[in-house]
Structure 1
Amino acid sequence: MLKSFDIYSQNNILKIIVALNLLLVGTGSLLYTDRLISKLEIREQQYVQLYAKAIGYLVDTSHVDAGDLNFVTSEILEANKTIPAIYISPDGQIAMQRNIDIPVNQTPEETRQFLRQKTYEMRKNHMPIVVEIGKGERGLVYYNNSRLLRQLTYFPYALLTILAALSVLAYLAFSSSRRAEQNRVWVGLAKETAHQLGTPMSSLMAWVEYMRSDPEQFDGSITDEIEKDVQRLETITARFSSIGSVPTLKEEDVNEVVRQFTDYLARRISTKVKMSVTSQLPPGHMVKINKLLFEWVIENICKNAVDAMKGVGELRLNMVSLPHQEVAIDITDTGKGISKATMQKVFSPGFSTKKRGWGLGLTLAKRIVEEYHNGRLFVKSSEVGKGTTFRIVLNGK
């Protein structure tokens, strides 16, 4: 356990380191991107201002010669190949536009309406730049961010998505590693428990033989019951030893297995619990199971049911056939029931409503049914104050 605790501590430290690195990378990238976007926005605004001045010079040609005018049109106006812009003349008409994808096959009026709509959209993002024409007249240049800048604006969101995905993958990786380590710990603990049980069991068997050798002093019926309990301990030891190993499945008469085990269990639970077994299965119905582990499942569910009833009530087992050659075993108690909030947790490791116990019985039962027998174990129904039904489904093929 100390070794496992160290591993878990190391995993927690690694999680913190990964989280901090992701946080630093994300924060640094976002700050740098935001700074870059701000600089590009200022640069594009300055470029549009230059574009607006060029338009002013182009419209008011009284102070420029032909060479200057040629320079303005070829070097400045034509240089804008990325920033969408619309020039509105002093009389309110659209006089010039750049880098706007106008739909084809439109009439001149439809084009004007389209460009007007674009100016409204541009105004939401940027204030128009004033063009001084001269003689007190002014035009307006509306513009929008270039495609490159718009793409860069979405980059932080893409980055956050990538970092979130990496965080989820890292979490899943650490969780998987921890679950694998927990499984190794439980397997080791189970096998060690089986090993430790071996010595007192051998001693108990010797005492049983001693008691049989003197029938006058020791009651034979008591000796028989003790021997059954010793055999039961051997079964439990075999169960613990099989954890972590792939169990061998054999064709078994499921009616006979359930009835034999419940007969044994009925004599060892509260006498105030009435246990009954019914079956709609045909006699000799065979199912591939590992008998030792399957009995463990029945025992765990039944003992949980007895605890839920506080040792008083009815415990009913019913076996039925399902489609596709499946077999269902319903275990119903008249206990306190399970709330909807609790129903999702009953199979979680460590979850228990009792003051004693580790909360592993139903977890192990579910694992045995689903991983080893390729079946299903779930809460079929439950009503608070009335009772619960667990259903085991096994493949009858």
Structure 2
Amino acid sequence: MNRFSLLKNRNLSKWIGFVVAFLIFGATVWYSNQFAQELKREEQTKIENYAKAVQLLGSDEVFSSAVQDYLLNITTGNTTMPVLLLDEIGEINQTFNIAEEIQNDSIKMSLLILRMKEQHPPIEIDLGEFGKQYVYYENSRLLTRLQYYPIILIFVIILFVYFSYWYFRTLKNTEQSFLWAGMAKETAHQIGTPLSSLLGWVEILRLEDANPESVDEIEKDIHRLNQITERFSKIGSLPELQMNNLVEITETTVNYLQARISKKIEFQFKSEKEEIRIPLNVALYSWVIENLVKNAADAMQNKGTLSVYISDTRDNVTVSVADTGSGMPKRLYKRIFEPGFTTKTRGWGLGLSLAKRIIEDYHKGKIFVAKSDKDSGTEIKVVLKK
């Protein structure tokens, strides 16, 4: 089975799961709504029977004691629905299932009558020569709760889906982080052995009177590889931050890359101060600067001006890396920091993703695209706390 088929089956499974969940949810809402409607009809019948019983008891007709008891049971049998019986001038004759605190407060009673009138039109009872009376009522507490049940159910399901998605996404990201950390540490371990041998060969070249300048450059590159190995070994570990001079570390990294990048690129380095000491992991921070400088050089196709500027405020230090390349659309400002995203034909698209993690997770700082334009290039800023 090829990759396309697996992807297609996975998407089909997701859609099937979505449809099944939607059907279950729809059936639950429909059933609860049907139950609420049935209860509403029962309550409507109950209140109509109450009104009829009051009318019969107030009429001139003579009933047997059994019938009278039955009618009285109807008028007093309501234990759930709030009911008010008012005469023609608005005086309250009877109350059922109304809290005492409301009965003792005329304002609350007036508001209750208005609310009942809005919910249901009052039922008129004609008592002949005794005038008319009116039955005001509202839904029982159970029916009110049932009417809100679908809304609460929707809210609960949305919360459940959201937290399930968040949990599985976090779990997946954690697994990926452990995988990348393991691969990085294993890579560092595998590279370490031949690097030690290369350092030995450099000393042999010195003893054999090889070109000192060439040997020095080889040694620099080997030390650089050692730094890269150290960076890989630190991925996934707790960062060790020590007070270091950010200006010196940044300038050293830029100078090293300047000697190894196209001569058609003009480097400009400027800092407001010669020394700015902040908590840093030197190996990881220099990796970030290296990634930003290399990306800037690639964006300019190895020709143009590359500027590194360090500004200092009371609470933060900002390192700005700017190029004169072709820029990028605003929709990519955040995407370039996503794992696997790259516009290059080679590479894994992990450089800026790792840079973001180093700055934000390890150093508790910020890294972002400050501006980008096809005419003036791109500027990325790193903001670190002192």
Does the pair score TM above 0.5? yes
- Give 1:102-117 correspondences, 5 Å limit: 115=113
What one-letter code is carried by the residue in structure 1 that aligns with 2:173? R
Note closer, same or farther for the CA distance 1:105–1:43 as it changes in structure 2 (3 Å cut).
closer
- Is the CA contact 2:116–2:138 (under 8 Å) kept in the aligned structure 1? no
What one-letter code is carried by the residue in structure 2 that aligns with 1:350? G
Q: Which residue of 1 aligns with 2:299?
A: 308
TM-aligned CA deviation for residue 142 of structure 1: 6.4
Tell me the distance in 2 between the aligned counterparts of 1:275 and 1:95: 91
Note closer, same or farther for the CA distance 1:394–1:210 as it changes in structure 2 (3 Å cut).
same
Q: Which residue of 2 aligns with 1:288?
A: 279
Q: Describe the SS at the equivalent of 2:337.
A: coil
Q: What are the Cα deviations for residues 230-273 of structure 1, in whole angstroms up to 9, with x where unaligned?
A: 22112111111121222333332222222222111101112221
TM-aligned CA deviation for residue 301 of structure 1: 1.0
Q: Which moved more, 1:174-183 or 1:382-391?
A: 382-391
Long gaps (5+) in structure 2: 1-9
Q: Return the match for 1:255 from 247, 262, 265.
A: 247
Q: Which residue of 2 aligns with 1:48?
A: 47
- Residue 177 in structure 1 maps to residue 175 in structure 2: no
Q: Describe the SS at the equivalent of 2:267.
A: strand
- Is the CA contact 1:19–1:167 (under 8 Å) kept in the aligned structure 2? no
TM-aligned CA deviation for residue 319 of structure 1: 1.6
What one-letter code is carried by the residue in structure 1 that aligns with 2:375? G
Tell me the distance in 2 between the aligned counterparts of 1:307 and 1:18: 44
Q: Describe the SS at the equivalent of 1:252.
A: strand
TM-aligned CA deviation for residue 92 of structure 1: 11
Q: Which residue of 2 aligns with 1:186?
A: 180
Note closer, same or farther for the CA distance 1:28–1:51 as it changes in structure 2 (3 Å cut).
same
TM-aligned CA deviation for residue 146 of structure 1: 1.6
- Residue 82 in structure 1 maps to residue 72 in structure 2: no
- Give 1:220-231 correspondences, 5 Å limit: 220-231=212-223
What one-letter code is carried by the residue in structure 1 that aligns with 2:380? F
What one-letter code is carried by the residue in structure 2 that aligns with 1:365? A
- Is the CA contact 1:80–1:98 (under 8 Å) kept in the aligned structure 2? no
Q: Which residue of 2 aligns with 1:236?
A: 228
- Is the CA contact 2:241–2:281 (under 8 Å) kept in the aligned structure 1? yes
Cα RMSD of the aligned pairs, angstroms, is 3.9
Tell me the distance in 1 between the aligned counterparts of 2:237 and 2:192: 19
Q: Describe the SS at the equivalent of 1:346.
A: helix
What one-letter code is carried by the residue in structure 2 that aligns with 1:78? T
Q: Which residue of 1 aligns with 2:120?
A: 122
Q: Describe the SS at the equivalent of 1:323.
A: coil
- Give 1:352-367 correspondences, 5 Å limit: 352-367=342-357
Q: Calculate percent identity across the aligned residue pairs.
A: 36
Number of residues of Structure 1 aligned to a counterpart in Structure 2 = 373
Q: Which residue of 1 aligns with 2:152?
A: 158
- Give 1:335-374 correspondences, 5 Å limit: 335-374=325-364
Q: Describe the SS at the equivalent of 2:335.
A: coil
- Is the CA contact 2:333–2:368 (under 8 Å) kept in the aligned structure 1? no
What one-letter code is carried by the residue in structure 1 that aligns with 2:51? A
What one-letter code is carried by the residue in structure 1 that aligns with 2:158? A
TM-aligned CA deviation for residue 315 of structure 1: 1.1
Tell me the distance in 1 between the aligned counterparts of 2:191 and 2:318: 34
What one-letter code is carried by the residue in structure 1 that aligns with 2:306? L
- Is the CA contact 2:308–2:321 (under 8 Å) kept in the aligned structure 1? yes
Q: Which residue of 2 aligns with 1:58?
A: 57
Relative to the length of structure 1, the TM-score reads 0.78
- Is the CA contact 2:334–2:368 (under 8 Å) kept in the aligned structure 1? no
- Residue 168 in structure 1 maps to residue 159 in structure 2: no
- Residue 298 in structure 1 maps to residue 289 in structure 2: yes
Q: Which residue of 1 aligns with 2:5?
A: none
What one-letter code is carried by the residue in structure 1 that aligns with 2:264? K
Note closer, same or farther for the CA distance 1:373–1:87 as it changes in structure 2 (3 Å cut).
closer
Q: Return the match for 1:317 from 304, 308, 314.
A: 308
TM-aligned CA deviation for residue 323 of structure 1: 1.4
Q: Describe the SS at the equivalent of 2:336.
A: coil
Long gaps (5+) in structure 1: 1-10
Tell me the distance in 2 between the aligned counterparts of 1:47 and 1:94: 23
Q: What are the Cα deviations for residues 138-184 of structure 1, in whole angstroms up to 9, with x where unaligned?
A: 99866542222111211222122222222222222212211111111
Q: Describe the SS at the equivalent of 1:381.
A: strand
